[in-house]
Amino acid sequence: MCPLWKPMPDLEFRSADARFGVHIPGATVRRLLHLCRSSWRKETGGILVGVYSAALDCARVSAASGSPVDSVRGPSWFQRGTRGLQRWLDRRWASRGAHYLGEWHFHPYAAPVPSDTDLQQLEIIASTADYRCPEPILLIVGGDPSGKWLVSAHVVPKSRDAVPLQRLKEPVEPEPR
């Protein structure tokens, strides 16, 4: 089986105090890596949508948008556009009840560490009533999306510092018999 088509495990992240969590299905991880590979050596990104767990302590990502056509980007910067996003969001809301959870972007061949600009943008989102998202998620894919890549996750609560989330241990794959 081609390594790029190997089943992708789900990703789980939690804050140290277990107050915040993020679950990303393997299919969404695969889509993110595809979008990153397609961007070559330029940053790209989009939005995350999904639902929250019944206890409201874990965001369950159900989809990640691609980069809107009016986005602008370079090798070490990205400004997400908005063209077509509302329609994309409306379709996911109507079909799955999914709503805006936060942002994602790609740091090509670099560590998935949020910049001050990344965190400031999420602080603005957290405090802007129109987003209806007081605790947005920031997901960053870094490295080589065709080879060795990493993902970081943060939650940026309104009027608080960003909370880094730790990736939980990957499930152990059974050995072939």
Residues marked as catalytic: 43
Q: Between the CA of residue 95 and those of 90, 91, 169, what are the distances in Å?
A: 9, 6, 32
- Both tokens of residue 112? 């998935």
Q: How many residues does the chain have?
A: 177
CB of 130 closer than 8 Å to CB of 122? no
Give the span between the Cα atoms of 127 and 136, in whole angstroms.
Answer: 10
Q: Is 79 exposed, middle or buried (0-12, 13-18, 19+ CB in 10 A)?
A: middle
